[in-house]
């Protein structure tokens, strides 16, 4: 009887356990947030906590105006530690996973029984911009709408380079009661235009703020950007007279420069040591091509660099050896720079000087005489080509042989060209054909306003033989950059290329393999590059690449269509190089 009683008790205990085990634990299957908050740093770098208010399936968190909501990390506590919290398909970890809370974010909580519950998490600011953009409905020149990303007090917005950013009208929405100004001008959404060439500060005033707050609109461009290659330590010394050429096979830049100012140790470089040096980019870094302390015999100036079709680099320069100041050309052979023909071969001292490797791998040099020489007046043009290691004059007979500027160059069509600015401030372009310089269209021309050309001239030619000429004119002490194209009949000006203010001869012209035209220029605020828009028949908005006063720069386009810039500024005279690509 006792045994039966014990068995009955054990059975009842067993059944009670089974019953209890089968009953669902409400905690294990809960899907609620106990807390939800953001921890952000304030202006003093101290952590501040902002608790969310949980009301049913909605969580609202109040944040200060200056907090960037595009990359917040939520810290939360669940009533059931076994739940899985997701945004979309991404599992969320408390205090770790970032989300953009510009718009409400849906959090999905999944319990062990696979049941789910969704919460909408919304950030509110008592005073803020809620949206900002440029819309084609408000800007007749736009072809599409552009919407900004608001990151605290920074408004980021990207547009295409074809957009005229000098008079854009913004459409924006703010919290109720805000007064917005740019400078002293009250802003009205969809009405007030502004110039976004530089960052624009929208001053936000509201009764809920102890003081006004500035929201800065940082405009960028969609597509390629100018990326620095390396840093400012690619050479140790200071430099001047910077020029660049692109290797035809590696498609990387080579730079020629004059070591000047201070050397690697901060010591002043004497005049006789101001020699030519060359560096090249390897794809991962920079290396010297020849002696890093310079390889010319003496002081040098007006250095140029070019490649032949085999990828051999050449340099041409004004050689101060024995103070002759004449032309010397060297080429890089067997890890040494060796002369091409005689050194100091020109019969004239060089004023202006230009050098290239032309058609048939022929080295060509052009100059304006800086002093009277037998057969040459001061400022007379002199042009020579090297054939069979001998320099021979190929000086053209032109209407005005006294010149103020000259550039010889090889176009992408493989032909040799020469741009000339004569002493009457007129322009001409020539093409070397059948051992003769033949005019490209009319000679001795100017722009339609009749302003004279000023001190220098540059040129470029596309793969299809379209020829361009660039120069500066002066009006009210302003250097106005001009670019003209030969249209098959006459020379026509291409829009307004830009104002260099008081900066003389700091401009460059290049064309890529597709025919896209690039123009670079420096003024007192920095270095800018712009492209020509074939649809509007004008130049796109210039992009500032380097701020501050520019000492020297050059621009070239590689055979695969990548533009490069080499730059020195007046502040440190160190070389920096940039490339224009979609990714760094």
Of the candidates 559, 553, 542, 558, the one whose C-alpha atom is nearest the C-alpha of residue 576 is 553
CA distance 581 to 584: 7
**Residue 4 resides in a domain:** no
Q: What is the mean pLDDT of each successive set of 10 residues along the chain, which is 584 residues long?
A: 50 49 58 94 87 95 90 94 93 95 95 93 88 96 93 93 90 90 96 92 86 90 90 86 96 96 91 93 94 93 96 96 93 96 95 95 95 90 95 92 95 97 95 96 94 93 97 88 96 90 92 97 94 90 91 96 95 91 89
| Domain final residue pick, 125, 145, 167 | 125
Does 402 lie in the same domain as 482? yes
Does 39 lie in the same domain as 157? no
**Residue 334 resides in a domain:** no
* Greatest distance between any 2 Cα atoms in the chain: 143
CA distance 25 to 533: 70
* DSSP notation for 470-483: EEEEEETTEEEEEE
Number of domains within the chain: 3
Q: What is the CATH number of the domain that holds 544?
A: 2.120.10.10
Residue 300, both tokens: 């040098």
**Residue 319 resides in a domain:** no
Residue 6 has a pLDDT of 53
**Residue 140 resides in a domain:** yes
CA distance 129 to 180: 10
| Domain final residue pick, 197, 223, 249 | 223
Does 475 lie in the same domain as 457? yes
Asked if 411 and 467 count as a contact pair (C-beta separation under 8 A), the reply is yes
Residue 519 has a pLDDT of 97
Does 400 lie in the same domain as 533? yes
Asked if 303 and 315 count as a contact pair (C-beta separation under 8 A), the reply is yes
Residue 8 has a pLDDT of 52
Residue 126 has a pLDDT of 80
Asked if 119 and 58 count as a contact pair (C-beta separation under 8 A), the reply is yes
Q: What is the DSSP letter of 299?
A: -
Does 133 lie in the same domain as 116? no
Residue 315, both tokens: 């340099």
CA distance 8 to 160: 85
Does 411 lie in the same domain as 484? yes
Q: Give me the domain span that covers residue 490.
A: 396-548
CA distance 467 to 306: 20
Burial state string for 89-110 with b = 16 or more CB within 10 A and e = fewer than 16:
eeebeeeeeebebeeebebbbb
Asked if 485 and 537 count as a contact pair (C-beta separation under 8 A), the reply is no
Residue 334, both tokens: 């067997």
Burial state string for 380-402 with b = 16 or more CB within 10 A and e = fewer than 16:
bbbbbbbeeeebeebbbebebbb
**Residue 313 resides in a domain:** no
User: What is the pTM assigned to this prediction?
Assistant: 0.78
In three-state form (DSSP H/G/I as H, E/B as E, the rest C), the secondary structure along 77-106 is EECCCCCEEEECCEECCCCCCEECCCCCEE
**Residue 19 resides in a domain:** no
Does 145 lie in the same domain as 112? no
Residue 19 has a pLDDT of 46
Does 181 lie in the same domain as 43? no
Residue 3 has a pLDDT of 52
Does 136 lie in the same domain as 107? no
CA distance 491 to 467: 10
**Residue 333 resides in a domain:** no
Q: What is the CATH number of the domain that holds 112?
A: 2.60.40.2340
Does 157 lie in the same domain as 72? no
Does 114 lie in the same domain as 138? no
Does 133 lie in the same domain as 119? no
**Residue 485 resides in a domain:** yes
| Domain final residue pick, 106, 125, 144 | 125
**Three-class DSSP category at 274:** coil
Residue 471, both tokens: 């120069």
Residue 28 has a pLDDT of 65
């Amino acid at each position: 009887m006792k045994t039966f009683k014990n068995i009955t008790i054990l059975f009842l205990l067993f059944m009670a356990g089974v019953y209890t085990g089968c009953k669902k634990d409400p905690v294990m299957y809960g899907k609620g947030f106990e807390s939800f908050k953001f921890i952000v740093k304030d202006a003093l770098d101290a952590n501040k906590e902002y608790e969310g208010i949980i009301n049913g399936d909605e969580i609202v968190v109040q944040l200060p105006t200056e907090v960037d909501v595009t990359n917040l990390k939520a810290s939360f506590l669940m009533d059931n530690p076994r739940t899985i919290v997701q945004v979309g398909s991404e599992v969320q970890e408390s205090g770790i996973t970032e989300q953009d809370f510009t718009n409400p974010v849906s959090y999905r909580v999944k319990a062990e029984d696979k049941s789910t519950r969704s919460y909408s998490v919304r950030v509110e600011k008592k005073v803020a911009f809620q949206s900002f953009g440029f819309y084609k409905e408000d800007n007749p020149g736009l072809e599409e709408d552009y919407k900004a990303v608001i990151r605290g007090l920074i408004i980021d917005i990207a547009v295409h380079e074809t957009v005229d950013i000098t008079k854009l009208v913004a459409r924006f929405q703010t919290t109720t009661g805000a007064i917005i100004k740019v400078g002293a001008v009250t802003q009205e959404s969809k009405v007030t235009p502004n110039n976004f060439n530089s960052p624009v500060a929208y001053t936000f005033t509201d009764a809920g703020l102890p003081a006004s707050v500035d929201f800065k609109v940082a405009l960028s461009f969609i597509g390629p950007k100018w990326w620095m290659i390396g840093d400012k330590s690619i050479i140790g010394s200071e430099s001047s007279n910077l020029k660049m050429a692109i290797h035809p096979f590696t498609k990387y830049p080579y730079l020629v420069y004059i070591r000047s100012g201070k050397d690697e140790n901060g010591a002043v470089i004497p005049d006789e040591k101001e020699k030519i040096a060359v560096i090249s980019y390897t794809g991962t870094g920079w290396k010297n091509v020849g002696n890093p302390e310079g390889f010319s015999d003496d002081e040098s100036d007006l250095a140029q660099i070019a490649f032949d079709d085999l990828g051999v680099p050449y340099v041409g320069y004004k050689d101060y050896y024995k103070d002759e100041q004449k032309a010397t050309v060297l080429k890089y052979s067997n890890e040494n720079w060796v002369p091409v023909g005689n050194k100091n071969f020109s019969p004239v001292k060089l004023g202006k000087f230009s050098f290239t490797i032309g058609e048939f791998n022929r080295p060509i040099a052009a100059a304006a005489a800086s002093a009277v020489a037998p057969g040459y007046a001061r400022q007379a043009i002199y042009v020579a080509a090297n054939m069979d290691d001998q320099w021979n004059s190929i000086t053209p007979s032109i209407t005005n042989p006294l010149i103020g500027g000259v550039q010889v160059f090889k176009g992408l069509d493989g032909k040799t060209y020469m741009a000339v600015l004569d002493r009457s401030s007129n322009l001409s372009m020539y093409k070397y054909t059948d051992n003769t310089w033949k005019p490209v269209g009319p000679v001795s021309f100017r722009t339609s306003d009749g302003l004279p050309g000023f001190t220098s001239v540059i040129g470029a030619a596309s793969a299809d033989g379209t020829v361009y000429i660039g120069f500066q004119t002066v009006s009210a002490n302003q250097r106005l950059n001009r670019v003209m194209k030969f249209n098959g009949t006459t020379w026509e000006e291409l829009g307004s290329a830009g104002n260099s203010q008081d900066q003389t001869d700091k401009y460059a012209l290049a064309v890529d393999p597709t025919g896209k035209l690039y123009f670079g220029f420096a003024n007192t605020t920095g270095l800018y590059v712009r492209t020509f828009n074939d649809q509007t028949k004008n130049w796109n908005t210039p992009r500032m690449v380097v701020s501050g006063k520019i000492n020297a720069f050059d621009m070239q386009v590689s055979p695969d269509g990548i533009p490069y810039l080499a730059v020195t500024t007046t502040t440190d005279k160190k070389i920096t190089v940039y490339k224009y690509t979609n990714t760094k």
